[in-house]
Structure 1
Amino acid sequence: MIRIFQQRAKCIGCNACVEAAPQRWRISRKDGKCTLIGAKEKKGMYLVLVDEEEWVENVLAAKHCPARIIRVEKVE
């Protein structure tokens, strides 16, 4: 399993994460920010647990995020 974190409030809506991992990220029509699909919010941090097959795409999403608000880590 992998864990993906997003600090959505700091998102600038550049779409880099959507291009890297479209099955996990989407641009919100309401505010233009990127939304982590399936995530739960807790104290401003969005979190989702996914299978390891999504690792490569989401690491790229984190790497290409100019705001540096995405973190991806493996869960034991």
Structure 2
Amino acid sequence: MILFKMKKIIHRKEKCIGCSYCVEIAPEFWKMNVENGKCDLIGSKKIKKDFVLEIFEDELDKNERVAQLCPTNCIKIV
């Protein structure tokens, strides 16, 4: 049995300015919400003020890049 270590993407949507870097880099995880002009983390669950999605380590590279490029630092990987 192979165990995979899970990571979490945490998106503080209220800080999002809709620059769409995340959508350009990792469209399989992010999409633009046309109603509010902010980005949505696809498949995430709302936990208090954050949207959280568990990902596998092999999905980390793109999302770490997204977190680094986010101008408002509203995306964290933990």
> TM (normalized to structure 2)?
0.88
Q: How many aligned residue pairs are there?
A: 73
Counterpart of 1:10? 15
Structure 2 spans left out of the alignment, 5+ residues: 1-5
| RMSD over aligned Cα atoms | 0.8
Secondary structure at 1:18 match in 2: helix
User: Of residues 21, 28, 53 in structure 2, which corresponds to 1:23?
Assistant: 28
Secondary structure at 1:3 match in 2: strand
Secondary structure at 1:30 match in 2: coil
Counterpart of 2:45? 40
Quote the sequence identity (%).
38
| Greater C-alpha Rg | 2
Structure 1 spans left out of the alignment, 5+ residues: none
Counterpart of 1:52? 57
Q: In 1, distance between residues paired with 2:48 and 2:38?
A: 18
> TM (normalized to structure 1)?
0.91
The Cα shift of 1:29 comes to: 1.3
Counterpart of 2:3? none
Q: Deviations over 1:34-72 (max 9, x none)?
A: 000111011111101012121000001001100101001
User: Of residues 57, 61, 65 in structure 1, which corresponds to 2:70?
Assistant: 65
The Cα shift of 1:10 comes to: 0.9
